[in-house]
Amino acid sequence: MDRPTIHTPQDLRNYPNFVGSIDPKIQPLSHIITGYYLNEEYPCGLKGCHQPHKEGYLVALEDGNVSNVGWKCGEAFGEKFAIEKTRYTDLILRPKAIQTIQEAIVKIHGLRQDLDNLATEADRLSQCKLGMRNYFPKLYKELDRRAHSGTDRVVEQIERTSKEIEDLQALSPGASRESFRYRDEPRGVLQGIRVLAGNFRDDVIIRLTGRATELQHINVTSLPTDKLLDWERWAQNFDDTVTQARATISAGNALFSLESFRLMTYIATVDTERAKLKTLTVATLLRSGSGDAQVVSVHPAKQSKRDRDSQKRLEATLQKARNKGR
Ligand SMILES: [Zn+2]
């Protein structure tokens, strides 16, 4: 059973026999056609409400007209609305959601190895990031600033000779000597820098691979409707989430590479950091980033706290994602 797709107010207005105002007291409900989530608010069709809603039901009336009502507003139709809501949920909403989720489960099976690899890469890159922060604290601040502002071009400031400065001053009389002291020499583009503003584990494990694994252990048909709809939304976005996770990983690998380390020597402002960059390898970064993991293996008690914290973060993130979907 296919539901009509209603995404915009125009989709509502274009629906056959749609009217913008109805009176539930004299125009009884026939059935719910579909629930909808609009991209912008649109006034409720109920006379006496007409409040702008983003979400609600498209309803058919016994007189042949069609209109829209907010989630709760439909109660104005009385008991018939509760009956139709149950019918709609059990016969249309749930079967469609279950189908979408099961299609995603099939995709997950097909991508199992890819997903495992993405998760491993996310852990590895997360460790590189930690290593960068531990090993190059000053440089990391600058990289973080660039990540947030999207500044990926790297230039080297080269001091001009006295002759060059004099020539430039001759062209712009009145300008200070200091303003011509350096020139910017382009050195390259720091690929993948934006990824540093995000979190590898959130993008890949929490949003994608962790939930994919979770879904494989769930009995989908027995989920309550709200949970079912959460998973349906996740399943609908599955392909995009995979694409984004892959992009995050490949950006991370570009950022933590010998070519990027070379470019970072032009960004580093501390001599010791610049010197370390010249011989830096990804392996060194990984060792530097796994410092606390080694401590953990010596003290098993800390391991469980870390697991608890990461579990808490996972739950909080999932909850936030669910709330956002509503
Ligand atoms: Zn309303």
Domain edges within the chain: 9-77, 104-154+192-325, 155-189
For residue 161, give Cα distances in angstroms to 177, 183, 204: 11, 10, 50
- 134 CA distance to ligand 1 centroid (A)? 55
- Cα angle 286-290-296, degrees, rounded to a multiple of 5: 165
pLDDT at 306: 54
Residue pair 64/17 in contact by the 8 Å Cβ criterion: yes
Q: What's 294-305 look like in SS3? A: HHHHHCHHHHHH
Q: 38: CA distance to ligand 1 center in Å? A: 14
Q: What is the pLDDT of residue 176?
A: 87
Query: How large a percentage of the chain has pLDDT more than 90?
Result: 83
Whole-number Å distance, alpha carbon 84 to ligand 1 midpoint, is: 17
- C-alpha 2 to ligand 1 mean position (Å): 26
Give me ligand 1 centre to Cα 70, in Å: 5
As separate numbers, helices (DSSP H) first and strands (DSSP E) second, the chain gives: 14, 5
Q: How far apart are CA 253 and CA 261, in angstroms?
A: 12
List residues, by chain if needed, whose CB lies under 5 Å from ion ligand 1: 44, 46, 49, 51, 70, 73
The strand pair at 182-189 and 153-159 is best described as antiparallel
User: How many whole angstroms from 286 Cα to the centroid of ligand 1?
Assistant: 56
Of 115-119, 239-243, 251-255, 309-313, give the lowest mean pLDDT range: 309-313
Cα(55) to ligand 1 centroid in Å equals 10
Identify the H or E element spanning 286: helix 282-289
The stretch 159-178 carries a mean pLDDT of: 90
User: Rounded to the nearest whole angstrom, what is the distance from the C-alpha of residue 32 to the centroid of ligand 1?
Assistant: 15
| Residues 259-273 pLDDT 10s | 999 999 999 999 999
Centroid of ligand 1 to alpha carbon of 73 (angstroms)? 5
Separation of 190 CA from ligand 1 center, angstroms?
51
**82 sits in which H/E element:** helix 79-88
Amino acid 303: pLDDT: 41
Note the pTM of the prediction, 2 decimals.
Answer: 0.75
Half-sphere exposure of 196 (CA within 13 A, CB side): 27
Residues 6+ apart with CB under 8 A from 88: 31, 32, 34, 35, 57
Q: Is the pLDDT of residue 1 over 80?
A: no
Higher pLDDT, 296 or 240: 240
Residue 292 in this model has a pLDDT that exceeds 60: no
Residue 97 tokens read as: 């959601």
Computed from CA positions of residues 280, 281, 283, 289, in that sequence, does the dihedral angle turn out positive or negative?
A: positive
* Distance between CA atoms of residues 63 and 33, nearest Å: 15
E-assigned strand segments in the chain: 29-43, 52-61, 66-70, 153-159, 182-189
pLDDT at 293: 44
Q: Which residues pair with residue 34 across a beta bridge?
A: 58
CA distance 121 to 250: 9
- What average pLDDT score do residues 285-295 get? 67
Chain position carrying tokens 């950006």: 251
Question: Which of 9-23, 121-135, 151-165, 301-315 is least confident?
Answer: 301-315
Residue 73 has pLDDT above 60, yes or no: yes
Distance in Å, CA 76 to ligand 1 centroid? 9
